[in-house]
Amino acid sequence: MGYIMLNLRSKELTEGVERVVSRSLLRAVGITDDEFEKPFIAVVNSWNEIIPGHKHLLSISQAVKQGIHEAGGVAFEFNTIAVCDGMLQGHSGMKYSLPSRDLIADSIEIVVEAHRFDGLVLIASCDKIIPGMLMASARLNLPAIMVTGGPMLPGKFGDSNNLTLSDLRTFIGAVVSNRMSYEELEEVGKATCPSVGSCSMMGTANTMSVIAEALGMTLPTCGTVHAVDKRKHLLAKESGRAILRLVREGGNARDIMIREAFENAIRVLLALGGSLNAVMHLIAIANEADVKLSFSDFDELSRDTPWIAAIKPAGPYTLKDLDEAGGVPAVMKILKSKLNLEVATVSGKRLRDIILEAKIMRKDVLRALENPYHSEGGIAVLRGNLAPEGALVRQVAVSPNMLRHKGPARVFNSEEEAIESLLRGDIKEGDVVIVRYEGPKGGPGMREMHQLASILIGMGLSQSTAIVTDGRVSGSTKGPVIAYVSPEAAEGGPIAVVRDGDIIEIDIPERELNVLVDEDTLKERLKEWKPVEKSVKGVLARYRKLATSANNGAVLLE
């Protein structure tokens, strides 16, 4: 196949008298002598049997490996971990979600570097796994390509044929407030997730899938082709072939993931109203690629990127609608005047060529730049004396009457405390619920406050009550939830000294988040402040020592 003259890293395992032991061990796993001359490709799979987004990934990896073999490579599959954010909501298990991202990146680095692979294909579907794999790709800087597992189909119940988890979670509050019975909730729940795949709204999983494509790290359309669609396996096989071309041509991950590509990905995120988690993940991925990103980059681009697709939870459409509309290539075709068109992609084509071939199939789903849902992008960065280093809000998922809000603080040091108070009826219309010590260090692990937000919405309080937190929010969260407040409480950020009754002022159009307490009073409170430290051990204790703030991507100190 013409690979003998390539400078393959795998030769460190297969060539020379001193490598006789490695060759013997490779023969023990079925590698023939003629395969010693071929590129060794790592197929990194996050398959497991507990997550719908990952249950089907074994069949996808089989297609990838077939493509690798057909193109003249040798495929070696290994697994990394994956957790399901959807199952972790509202309990201590959510503390482990964000730390898993960095563990995933580390585990891939260890296996790929230890075994001197020549390239890698990464297979994943969900929230922290895709960014963890992209972080590893950038860090390793080898030929790499992603295959995302694809969304599940939307659910059908009664008159609705587009149910998603973002709908189901708000019904919890409806049960709590006696507007729906438990039995009705269970019936809806049985219909909401009808197939394998990542949850069918624009949550973090699907946001990161489309971002991987917008970065140029997947083949075109991969980000929205559904898990049960035969096109997914065809894309997987073609991805296996494509990695051999990248190895042959010397196309490394950082040749793809350059600053201009990150700016393109941010524009797509903003145009689709994607998950706030993507901000932190993109900063972390860029850090591995030696590209500097900050909250400010997202806010600057958001002011110049219209929101053109109202995908759940910020609108009526699902990922199935987005796929039918033409997927990411169609989105980028609409955005082409704002994109860097000469960036390379793993397909071998420049973005300009992909856009040229793209078709916009449903103009009800994807609006023109001249007729957007909102003149700005889906995400806004707020600053003020409550968030000197920034906070994030999904502005397109906030009702107009809550874009500006002023109300008394109700302060809690954990999500559980806030939920208990909400269920007791202690939180009233107009309040601002402050949930702190849930950041990267404070949690530790930076839990999502989605359970709290969903119950609040289901109880009908989202039109009058806001949440402000140094924790995260789910990609399926909607309503007036301001999160990722930096610095976090555990690092002595001003959110640590907010007191019950302090007036909080939120002004999303003006990008302001303030506590209406004079500067001298805040300084005096901070002098007296003592951090709340939650008792943890093992990986969470190590994570607390190493994690940085949200505005730095919550990356780990080296």
Task: Tell me the per-residue pLDDT of 302-312, one tens digit each, with 9 for 90 and over.
Answer: 999 999 999 99
Q: Residue 87: is its pLDDT beyond 60? A: yes
C-alpha of 407 from chain center: 31
Radius of gyration for the chain, computed over Cα atoms and rounded to the nearest angstrom:
24
Q: Rounded CA gap, 228 and 543, in Å?
A: 36
Structure letter (DSSP) for residue 513? E
Choose between 148 and 474: higher pLDDT: 148
Confidence of residue 1 (pLDDT cuts 50, 70, 90): very low
Phi–psi pair at 221, nearest 5 degrees: 80, -10
At a CB cut-off of 8 Å and minimum separation 6, what does 436 contact? 411, 412, 413, 442, 469, 470, 485, 488, 489, 495, 496, 498
> What is the tens place of the pLDDT at every residue in 186-212?
998 999 999 999 988 899 999 999 999
> Does residue 451 surpass a pLDDT of 90?
no
Rank 87-101, 167-181, 252-266 by mean pLDDT and report only the highest.
252-266
Q: In whole angstroms, give the CA distance from residue 435 to residue 483.
A: 9
**Per-residue pLDDT at 164 exceeds 80:** yes
Average pLDDT, stretch 462-480? 88
CA dihedral 380, 383, 386, 389 (to 10 degrees): 100
Rounded Cα distance between 343 and 349, Å, is 9
Q: How far is CA 32 from CA 73, 74, 114, 116, in A?
A: 12, 10, 21, 18
pLDDT number for residue 558: 81
Annotation says 474 is catalytic: yes
Domains of the chain in start order, with CATH, are: 39-153+196-357 (3.40.50.2300), 382-552 (3.50.30.80)
Q: Which of 239, 249, 244, 346 is nearest to 39 (CA)?
A: 244
pLDDT over 90 for what percent of the chain?
85
Q: Is residue 2 scored above 60 in pLDDT?
A: no
* Residue-level pLDDT at 476: 67
* pLDDT tens-digit readout, 358-408: 999 999 999 999 999 999 999 999 999 999 999 999 998 899 999 999 999
Where residue 217 falls among pLDDT bands split at 50, 70, 90? very high
Which whole number is the average pLDDT over 120-140?
97
Give yes or no for residue 487 having a pLDDT over 70. Answer: yes
Tokens 């972790």 appear where?
88
Is residue 199 within 8 A of residue 205, CB to CB? The reply is yes
Identity at 187, one-letter amino acid code: E
φ, ψ of residue 22 to 5 degrees: the values are: -60, -45
| Set 200, 414, 462, 474: catalytic member | 474
| Amino acid at the residue 64 | V
Mean pLDDT of the chain: 94
CA–CA distance from 210 to each of 149, 327, 328, 495 (Å)? 11, 8, 6, 33
Query: What would the mean pLDDT of 19-36 be, rounded to a whole number?
Result: 96
